[in-house]
Amino acid sequence: MEYLINHIDQHLTFYYTMFNMGKVSMLEEKLYLLIHNHLSSYKNMNDTIGNMPFSYFMSYVSGAGISLIKHWVQDESRISKDELIFHFYNIVENGTAGIIKKEE
């Protein structure tokens, strides 16, 4: 993910345009395939990750990851790429519930 975010940061104008084109650009579908190809190496022989069907796992991870990147690209007051990478890994490692618990 760090490589992808660095690449997007270097070509921010291009990605901003592509996200704003919507479905026509097929950018989200291409990002989904990148994530799918990467995570496929972690699935078990029975097509699961952590006893979860791979397709459900992919739906959650790709939806959240692509949405986070899209928000960052389109945000007029975007945080730095290093902050985005930090927050992404924090969500991945601790989960949303874990982050909320830390706030209590």
Q: Which long-range contacts (CB under 8 A, 24 or more apart) does 60-63 make?
A: 61/35, 62/31, 62/32, 62/35, 62/36
Helix (H) or strand (E) holding 52: strand 52-53
Residue 71 lies in domain = 2-103
- Percent of the chain surpassing pLDDT 70: 100
pTM summary value: 0.86
Backbone conformation region of residue 20, classed left if phi is above 0, alpha if psi is from -120 to 50, else beta: alpha
Only one residue has tokens 């791979």, namely 54
Per-residue confidence (pLDDT) for residue 25, from 0 to 100? 86
Instruction: Encode pLDDT of 55-73 as tens digits.
Output: 999 999 999 999 999 999 9
Instruction: Encode pLDDT of 30-47 as tens digits.
Output: 999 999 999 999 999 999
